[in-house]
Structure 1
Amino acid sequence: MASVLIINGPNLNLLGQRQPEVYGTTTLADIEMACARHAETLGLDISCTQSNHEGALIDVIHGAKGVHNGLVINAGAYTHTSIALMDAVASVELPMVEVHLSNIHAREAFRHVSYLSKVAIGQICGFGPKGYLMALDALAERITPK
């Protein structure tokens, strides 16, 4: 069975509490449960991880090679600053979908730049938690046998 690793970056552990007017009231645990249910309908195995530390995220990405068939990444603020995360994704050669709960293109100008988009098969933003399910759909089309 194909496997997807869902990676969440800094401050996403505070979903449901942090700026609910921007990010909503759904918690990260709620998102992970919804992803698990949706992945089952797609015939995917998933694993989820979150870290507030850039190096830990890089280690998780490196560890995905040979274990998972694709990645879903919400790198939070590291999206706009981390060339190292971009390089890590490029190095593992796995299809990756970038996800953001809010529409980063309708926010502050610094959020319009995404280093991860340069190595992603696509970017989903502005659809709240549903964006993760959309990312799983996109990856399932790429990594599961027809």
Structure 2
Amino acid sequence: RRGGRVAIVLSVVVGLSQVALYLGLPQPIISLFIDRSSAEAPQILLIGTTLLALAAAFQLLDGAQVMALGLLRGVQDTRVPMWLAAFSYWGVGIPASYLLAFKAGYGSVGLWSGLVIGLAFASAMLMARFWLRVPRPAAVYSA
């Protein structure tokens, strides 16, 4: 349990540093990939800033679900997590992406939002499984 906590804290620290970078410097990051003098640059920066915010959430949640999968692998629990992850991506993320992008009309923002929803579901299910599977240490009482 202690090792799991340490791994999760380190993962969150790394993830939050990426989130801070993506949210704090979206235009300089996007500008690395576009010609700022083009007529389309303002529109690209606007859309790109929104997508980079979604990428920040994606990075944090992806780190959490990868960490949870690794922790579960460490306690020899792989079959159920595999199915949980597959369902999260294919049963939640892809349908949510389709609905948000094409049926609700949100386009690329909807597509990435759906993927973030799938990762959030995977992260929650896998972390819950880890904490429910790993036994709590017995309380130590001194006389």
TM-score tier after normalising by the smaller chain length: under 0.3
Higher Cα Rg, which structure: 2
The structure whose residues are more often strand, as a share, is 1
Structure 2 length-normalised TM: 0.27
